[in-house]
Amino acid sequence: MSYTIGVLGCQHLGYRMRGMRMHPSGLNLREVDGYAAHKLVYEDMLGAGVDGIVDGGDLFHVSEPSPESVNVALRVDDLRVDASPDDRFIWRIGNGGNHDNGSGRHRSAVSALHRPHLGSYTVFPDPTRPESDKVTPHPGYYEIHQPDPDVPLYLHLVSHNGLDPALAERGIVIDPQPLEGGVNLLFAHGIFAADGRLFGADERHGAERVIPAQWADRGFDHYLLSDYHTLGPIPGFGPDDGRDRGQVWMTGSLCSRGFSDDICGRGWLQVTLTDDGRVTVTPRYVWQRPQIDFPVIDAATLSVDEIDQQVRARLLAQTMTDPESASLTGDGGVILRQRISGASPSQKPALRAAAIEWSHLAGDAAFFGVSYINSTTLTARPGESRQTGETGPARVTDYVGEFTRRADGNGAVARALAGLNGSIRDRVADRTRRVLADVAVDTE
């Protein structure tokens, strides 16, 4: 006998990619991709015979989602309802994420999926919620659910709201601890403090919320976290790190946001409980539109004609369409990007002209973009004129130096670092400097 849970997160329903082709429906094609992936994951989980589903948060991309996004979320959740046996629901519990919450809102966007009469519960602060509908110890912030009264399984969910350090000022202390006599799983929506990829979470939304590293040593059977968009175990805390229990996993996202997220497999986590109390986590992957990031071209060592020839050769050799994507969404175009490093101001006009022809060659792709990194640019101090005659804030070309300045300052970077312990803080700062030295983006 076994008991199975499907865990997913960061669907970002309603996300639209700038520059992406439009779908025949009139929607941004990336928005359609997100809807398709969300449905596929539910179909895959239900096909695997899950007893319940946990959504880790960021179901929606914005706190006031479009009617289409809400309708898709409800229609997909109806698949769960329809697949449930006659005597019980395949239960669902959804956590609240940072994208689900807007400033000053009392109700999170995930409230649209709070349907207890259909076996669906969501974790979000709601001052109007009746006492009979509240789940302790801190409703909306930290809730402990036992979805099946016959199974000693305790789900501890800490929402994005529950990671707010200001809660302590209101006398709300979030201190998750496992309960005796059962299996305890901790779910939280935020960045794990001991994850060296902390600054890899691009396009932050709302307040930065950190999951304390010490929670990983509290005896929970496993930790299933959401917010960082790469699916898999967190380095140092996974099954290959000597941790049979207490592994820390990220659900990843179902749809990459442009090229800010890692190109990696996407899907859901199958969490299986066996009669002997053992808990295993297995990644399950579903379709995603092919996304190719061509190798960076170093313009500092090549002429414009040589760069042009390289890009043309790559595009002519590249398959522009994917049959599975066409079948699922009605558009099979792939997503392509070419980065060019070290381009000089004199090279860029000719490269932009060449890019017009490159776009024609990539006409069957759903997206083709060209970006410039580590480019040589004209700089000026704030308020001074550049040689182009412009005025305004200086362009940052020393990204490592700029990071160091901000780390030593009083802004968001300094606050995020201050939330880490000494050894982790130093490791994250060093890793960030190495990344910035390699991929500093042109501010043009």
Residue 383 pLDDT? 35
Q: Which of 285, 306, 338 is the last residue of a domain?
A: 285
Nearest to 32 by CA among 186, 236, 254, 249: 254
The rounded distance, in Å, linking the Cα atoms of 16 and 28 is: 6
Out of 15-29, 201-215, 229-243, 358-372, least confident range: 201-215
Shared-domain flag, residues 249 and 100: yes
Shared-domain flag, residues 220 and 333: no
Shared-domain flag, residues 156 and 203: yes
Task: Tell me the residue ranges of DSSP E strands in 227-353.
Answer: 232-233, 247-250, 267-274, 279-285, 291-293, 297-298, 335-341
For residue range 33-53, what is the model confidence (pLDDT) as tens digits? 999 999 999 999 999 999 999
pTM for this predicted structure? 0.83
To the nearest 10°, the Cα dihedral for 298, 299, 301, 304?
140
Shared-domain flag, residues 362 and 311: yes
**Residue 271 pLDDT more than 70?**
yes
The answer to whether 59 touches 110, Cβ cutoff 8 Å, is yes
Shared-domain flag, residues 429 and 323: no
**Residue 154 pLDDT more than 90?**
yes
Q: Which of 370, 391, 422 is the last residue of a domain?
A: 370
Nearest to 270 by CA among 287, 256, 251, 288: 251
Distances (CA, A) of 403 to 322, 428, 439: 40, 12, 13
Residue 356 pLDDT? 95
Name 207's Cβ contacts closer than 8 Å, sequence gap at least 6. Answer: 98, 164
Tally of domains in the chain: 3
The total number of residues written for the chain in this structure: 444
The rounded distance, in Å, linking the Cα atoms of 358 and 322 is: 20
Shared-domain flag, residues 115 and 224: yes
The rounded distance, in Å, linking the Cα atoms of 310 and 339 is: 12
Q: 2-8 and 267-274: which strand pairing? A: antiparallel
pLDDT > 70: percent of the chain: 86
Name 31's Cβ contacts closer than 8 Å, sequence gap at least 6. Answer: 14, 15, 16, 23
103-110 mean pLDDT: 72
Shared-domain flag, residues 126 and 141: yes
Q: Which residue has the tokens 């090279």?
A: 347
**Residue 439 pLDDT more than 90?**
no
Shared-domain flag, residues 81 and 111: yes
Nearest to 224 by CA among 283, 175, 179: 283
Residue 207 pLDDT? 64
Shared-domain flag, residues 341 and 277: no
Residue 105 pLDDT? 55
Shared-domain flag, residues 326 and 384: no
DSSP code, position 142: E
Q: What is the CATH number of the domain that holds 200?
A: 3.60.21.10
Query: Which domain, by its residues, includes 229?
Result: 2-285
Residue 239 pLDDT? 94
Q: Which of 264, 285, 306 is the last residue of a domain?
A: 285
Shared-domain flag, residues 250 and 356: no
Shared-domain flag, residues 407 and 281: no
Name 198's Cβ contacts closer than 8 Å, sequence gap at least 6. Answer: 191, 416, 420, 428
Residue predicted with more confidence, 194 or 70 = 70
147-168 mean pLDDT: 94
Residue 206 pLDDT? 58
Q: Which residue has the tokens 């997909």?
A: 76
